[in-house]
A and B are shown apart, each in its own frame.
Chain A
């Protein structure tokens, strides 16, 4: 089951202008997505954003009101789910309780009228592949969550679909299992070379597993890109706050002073520099975000380092709260005159000796090139 062919440019699934309504509710709003072969693509968003609906439209359980689903180059809108070459791994696994593991995995092959011998061979291979050897005769109720997950996966993979759709596959697992399954999924995907479309609300899961992420809100895709793009350069306030802990400053561009930067006046009357980026209209800018782990905290009076305003955004404040999390400490700092709090993550590795008690006066600073521009979206 190895396929290392480099068909990265071949589009396996195209979601074209797809819209879906349920009565008055606009569940999917003119979504356009292209997924290449061998890619792990994730739809990320909060509950109710339409990601599961979109998945079901692709699978064939809901017809789109507008738009097309093009699978492997062919329009499949009219095809019922049993005739489409894609398979779902359901959130609740949906393993058939009255059938053994073997029969569950063989189900699709039986429908395809594959010969008994061939079925036996393929199913046993599949069972070995997901490390479930010896469990063929067990029933789903006798399996653990992780084992059930693997059976569900096998059941779909064995049919060699053009794309595998996963509906929050790790949501039902506990944290440790989740990590194992993520690794397992990645391994399987790499070895089989199959394309994944994964639906999740867990940003960490999306970041660690995907090649590409589409962030959805209220039925529309508001940002699409690599995990790095999404995390390091979220384009809007929604994406920025959804993708992880972050600090958001609202403000308007005051002037473009130099070629490489904007001057932003924040809501709290501070002037901050922001990097100029191509293709962004300064009038559209609503503020910026800065990740907590990029901020440095030092005592006030400062460590006597001359901090250049030209290089850093510098603010002064008072420590409000400090939460020890083991690998990092989350420190909340109230900014002077700013009427707002800043969240800082002090990584234990780099801030080994630092500890800040509540009430300490500190200076916070960071390289303003890290300020991430936020647009209205």
Chain B
């Protein structure tokens, strides 16, 4: 209560320690500081330490871990991950627009149904979903069985453990996250604008690039954030669908920490991944607006 203020307390004087503020904001701040911020700082610290020959960390400072990150096989993995994430993003955008467009234009009363049908597969645990993809792509999976049953092929196609499988998996589980924001953006579009464009003689293609795309920019950016970020650092998809043949950063970092016990290495790779992500996010926010991130949430 406000019992501390008396008749003579001048109004407007701010107390140094604000109880109200501490109770409300305190817990969250503490949480984030202790369990996100500090650990990251520690990671940063460790990333500069040298790993001794005996497998234990030494106190020697070195940049070797970072050099490793950018060279040779590791560097290639980083690059590949980035490339996959970008590809996933683009593919998702390309698929998302027609789907979202269809739902807004022709959905009518069934719009909610369509959205629901899209979201429900997403509600299953990620791990289950990725396993499910395996059942589709495997040698005895759905696609192969179907194709063989239709007589189109004689022996099963090798789909798993390939870049294709990884891309498929990434797109599969990212797609709804791109469709939904774009759908929301399309719904918000004033249909009169499209009609005006057609009225003035725009072909569908021009209509898309000159009217629809700019106006749904927000949705595209939101979707990109939702797709690119998880895709870049994903662990499960490359593990299950890529095997040891197709490694991404996620596998790499995990491997370093857990299998190889190389904390400095894992830390450095993690930091590089984070830096990469923050860079990309920064660019996206610059182009898409500062509160794009929060809108996403």
* A interface residue numbers (CB < 8 A to B): 63-65, 75, 77-78, 80, 83
What would be 14 A-B contacts, judged by CB atoms less than 8 Å apart? A63-B11, A63-B12, A64-B11, A65-B12, A75-B7, A77-B11, A78-B5, A78-B6, A78-B7, A78-B8, A78-B9, A78-B11, A80-B2, A83-B2
Please, which residues of chain A bring their CB within 8 A of the CB of B11?
63-64, 77-78
Q: How far is the CA of A83 from the CA of B7 in the complex (A)?
A: 13
* B interface residue numbers (CB < 8 A to A): 2, 5-9, 11-12
Q: How far is the CA of A77 from the CA of B7 in the complex (A)?
A: 8
Cβ distance A167 to chain B, nearest Cβ, rounded Å: 22
Cβ distance B23 to chain A, nearest Cβ, rounded Å: 18
Cβ distance A76 to chain B, nearest Cβ, rounded Å: 9
A-B contacts besides A65-B12, A78-B7, 7 pairs, CB < 8 Å: A63-B11, A63-B12, A64-B11, A78-B5, A78-B6, A78-B8, A78-B11
Residue in A closest to B2 when the chains form the complex, CB atoms: A80
Cβ distance A27 to chain B, nearest Cβ, rounded Å: 15
Cβ distance B234 to chain A, nearest Cβ, rounded Å: 43
Q: How far is the CA of A75 from the CA of B6 in the complex (A)?
A: 12
Cβ distance B90 to chain A, nearest Cβ, rounded Å: 46
Pick the 5 closest A-B CB pairs, nearest first: A63-B11, A80-B2, A78-B7, A78-B5, A63-B12
Residue in B closest to A83 when the chains form the complex, CB atoms: B2
Residue in A closest to B8 when the chains form the complex, CB atoms: A78
Cβ distance B254 to chain A, nearest Cβ, rounded Å: 48
Q: How far is the CA of A78 from the CA of B5 in the complex (A)?
A: 7
Please, which residues of chain B bring their CB within 8 A of the CB of A78?
5-9, 11
Please, which residues of chain A bring their CB within 8 A of the CB of B6?
78
Please, which residues of chain A bring their CB within 8 A of the CB of B9?
78
Cβ distance A15 to chain B, nearest Cβ, rounded Å: 15
Q: How far is the CA of A65 from the CA of B12 in the complex (A)?
A: 8
Q: How far is the CA of A65 from the CA of B9 in the complex (A)?
A: 13
Residue in B closest to A76 when the chains form the complex, CB atoms: B7
Q: How far is the CA of A64 from the CA of B2 in the complex (A)?
A: 18
Cβ distance A108 to chain B, nearest Cβ, rounded Å: 17
Cβ distance B19 to chain A, nearest Cβ, rounded Å: 15
Please, which residues of chain A bring their CB within 8 A of the CB of B5?
78
Q: How far is the CA of A64 from the CA of B12 in the complex (A)?
A: 9
Please, which residues of chain B bring their CB within 8 A of the CB of A64?
11
Please, which residues of chain B bring their CB within 8 A of the CB of A63?
11-12
Please, which residues of chain A bring their CB within 8 A of the CB of B7?
75, 78
Q: How far is the CA of A75 from the CA of B9 in the complex (A)?
A: 13
Please, which residues of chain B bring their CB within 8 A of the CB of A77?
11
Q: How far is the CA of A77 from the CA of B10 in the complex (A)?
A: 9
Cβ distance A72 to chain B, nearest Cβ, rounded Å: 15
Cβ distance A17 to chain B, nearest Cβ, rounded Å: 14
Cβ distance B85 to chain A, nearest Cβ, rounded Å: 46
Cβ distance A345 to chain B, nearest Cβ, rounded Å: 45
Cβ distance A5 to chain B, nearest Cβ, rounded Å: 30
Q: How far is the CA of A15 from the CA of B7 in the complex (A)?
A: 17
Please, which residues of chain A bring their CB within 8 A of the CB of B2?
80, 83
Q: How far is the CA of A241 from the CA of B112 in the complex (A)?
A: 55
Q: How far is the CA of A83 from the CA of B11 in the complex (A)?
A: 16
